[in-house]
Amino acid sequence: MELLAGPDLAALASAWIAERAWRSDPFRIALVGGSTPRRTYERLSDCPLRWSAWHVWWSDERLVPAGHPDSNERLAREALLSRVPIPEEQIHPLRSEDVELPDRFDLVLLGIGTDGHTASLFPGDPALAERERPIVRVARPDHTRLTLTYPVIDAARAVAFLVAGAGKREILARVLAGDESLPAARVRAEETVVLADEAAAGR
């Protein structure tokens, strides 16, 4: 797992994603939710990319209406998808376990929670052991969620964690040290990188 850090996560991450998008046609990406990626998506929307090549999924989602404040789909549509000409039929919201996935993602974007969870793979949850199903439901106190499982994530050509803020510094250090009690540390994609701001990286 490689760490790439800079003073501006949105600038770092959007350039990194854009460079990989140019490598692939089609470009199959799973987006991440949460508050961290918003500025990255907004910055990415200004990049002159081959948007017609993009095919979009999500790495996890809460089972809420698409317009709900907690919806990862809503965030991505507001910050990125409504601003770029990706054909709507190439956007695949994660609303059930039956969503058809690509044979292999070119890029899966993930976050890291303060408890070390990633996507909706939480410490101690049975979903961590799932090896057959590509998408599973995960019950949480706020909302039931859908998440990609490790076999799908690990099969991706690249996985990038987006991590920001001093509040993530301690957990990020443990993930980078390979603490496998943390779900994020168990990701084993061909290329696995952490894109972090200096506050999270401790620089």
Residue type, 166: A
Task: Give me the domain span that covers residue 62.
Answer: 2-201
Looking at the structure of the chain, the number of domains it has is 1
pLDDT of residue 137: 96
- 81 DSSP assignment: G
d(CA 125, CA 119): 12
pLDDT of residue 35: 85
As averages over each run of 10 residues, the pLDDT of the chain (203 residues) reads 95 97 96 93 97 98 89 95 97 95 98 96 96 96 94 98 96 96 97 97 83
Tell me the residue length of the chain: 203
**Total Cβ atoms within 10 A of residue 24:** 16
CATH at 33:
3.40.50.1360
pLDDT of residue 203: 64
Full DSSP string of 91-118: B----STTPPPPSS-SEEEE---TTS-B
